[in-house]
């Protein structure tokens, strides 16, 4: 890197073992370094537990670690994910909030196990909880336990036959609206970005989020094709919103592929995110 050139690319969407990723926070950061990323955001589902460990590892490796979280919301029956960057993740009410969500997710896992039992699929709760390793328990962990129990040949089949949205053992999560998530993120000095908008049925959630004061749109994501990418870039520009992107790395849980850094985001988008963060804190 020359003296005046900007730092290398970043990845602003990743998961660790604190939700459904397979990398420990330290290993994710080390892998980011291997892949020549200058920065990586930790955005676990409904958990900020990995952030401090990742930040410490980032100092060792010379990788800029961006604190983040991916909150689960629901808008008119559609699951919507809201990214929150730079929230005060050590604040007690933030920790309490996510502890409460963790509790709800555990209750939900129990309910899914009950439904599976009625379908003659026996999955021990202990195996699900072991798969979650104390992090945000979700369907990927239920699926993993189903595979381990021999109920399905693989995770894909677990989703397809039982726990996809339409599946007979699906149980919805607690209902938080995108507006509430945005409010929570902003209340704790964070930047709210609607995640992978192309994965929702239509753009209603995007416009709801814009009306609720969302700060940005995730434009680059593995589930976005070139058309979607330019579509959301246009919406972001029209509404003067920040643009972010990332690999949504789950450390190989999805398709046995790591994905980290494969959607390289130019550093200037992180720089813009940081400028916004500094502006709302000053």
Residues lying near ligand AMP in the complex (CB under 6 A) are found at 20, 45, 72, 138-140, 155-156, 159, 164, 250, 254
| Interacting residues of 189 by C-beta distance below 8 A, sequence separation 6+ | 86, 87, 88, 277, 280, 281
| Interacting residues of 249 by C-beta distance below 8 A, sequence separation 6+ | 11, 13, 14, 15, 21, 23, 28, 258, 259, 260, 261
Phi first, then psi: what are they for 158, rounded to 5°? -60, -45
In angstroms, give the least distance from the CB of 173 to Zn ion.
Answer: 12
CA dihedral 29, 188, 231, 252 (to 10 degrees): 30
Instruction: Give the nearer residue to Fe ion in terms of CB position, either 68 or 121.
Output: 68
In angstroms, give the least distance from the CB of 139 to Zn ion.
Answer: 9
In angstroms, give the least distance from the CB of 184 to Fe ion.
Answer: 17
Instruction: Give the nearer residue to ligand AMP in terms of CB position, either 88 or 107.
Output: 107
Q: Which residue number places its CB atom closest to ligand AMP?
A: 138
Please give the Cα distance from 65 to 68 (Å, whole number).
9
The CA–CA distances, whole Å, from 26 to 58, 83, 217 equal 8, 21, 28
Positions in the binding site for Fe ion (CB under 5 A):
70, 81, 195, 248
Instruction: Give the nearer residue to ligand AMP in terms of CB position, either 85 or 159.
Output: 159
Which one of Zn ion, Fe ion, ligand AMP, none interacts with residue 159, CB within 5 to 8 A by kind?
ligand AMP
Which segments within the chain are labelled E, that is strand?
A: 10-11, 39-42, 64-75, 78-85, 191-194, 216-220, 242-245
Which one of Fe ion, Zn ion, ligand AMP, none interacts with residue 156, CB within 5 to 8 A by kind?
ligand AMP
Please give the Cα distance from 139 to 281 (Å, whole number).
36
Would you mind telling me the total number of residues written for the chain in this entry? 282
**Contact string (CB under 5 A) for Zn ion, positions 11-50, x = contact:** ---------x------------------------------
Q: Which residues pair with 74 in a beta bridge?
A: 79
Q: Which residue number places its CB atom closest to Fe ion?
A: 81
In angstroms, give the least distance from the CB of 213 to Zn ion.
Answer: 25
User: By the 8 A CB rule, do 40 and 28 touch?
Assistant: yes
Report how many residues bind Zn ion under the rule CB under 5 A: 1
70 binds Zn ion (CB under 5 A): no
Instruction: Give the nearer residue to ligand AMP in terms of CB position, either 113 or 210.
Output: 113
In angstroms, give the least distance from the CB of 12 to ligand AMP.
Answer: 16
Residues that bind Zn ion (CB under 5 A): 20
């Amino acid at each position: 890197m020359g003296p005046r050139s900007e730092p290398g690319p970043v990845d602003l969407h990743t998961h660790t073992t604190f939700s459904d990723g397979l990398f420990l926070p330290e290993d994710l950061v080390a892998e980011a370094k291997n892949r020549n990323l200058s920065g990586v955001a930790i955005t676990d589902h409904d958990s900020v537990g990995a952030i401090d460990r990742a930040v410490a590892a980032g100092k060792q490796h010379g990788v800029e670690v961006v604190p983040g979280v991916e909150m689960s919301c629901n808008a008119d029956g559609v699951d919507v994910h809201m990214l929150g960057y730079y929230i005060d993740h050590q604040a007690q009410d933030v920790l309490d909030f996510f502890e409460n969500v963790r509790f709800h997710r555990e209750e939900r896992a129990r309910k899914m196990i009950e439904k599976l039992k009625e379908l003659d699929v026996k999955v021990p709760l202990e195996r699900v909880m072991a798969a979650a390793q104390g992090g945000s328990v979700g369907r990927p962990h239920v699926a993993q336990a189903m595979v381990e129990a021999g109920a399905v040949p693989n995770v894909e089949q677990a989703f397809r036959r039982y726990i996809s949205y339409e599946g007979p053992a699906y149980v919805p999560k607690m209902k938080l609206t995108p507006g509430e998530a945005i409010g929570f993120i902003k209340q704790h000095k964070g930047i709210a970005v609607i995640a992978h908008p192309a994965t929702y049925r239509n753009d209603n959630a995007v416009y709801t989020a814009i009306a609720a004061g969302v700060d940005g749109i995730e434009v680059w994501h593995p589930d976005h094709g070139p058309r979607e990418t330019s579509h959301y870039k246009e919406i972001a520009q029209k509404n003067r919103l920040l643009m972010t992107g990332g690999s949504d790395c789950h450390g190989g849980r999805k398709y046995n592929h790591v994905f980290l850094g494969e959607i390289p985001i130019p550093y200037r988008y992180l720089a813009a995110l940081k400028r916004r963060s500094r502006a709302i804190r000053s």
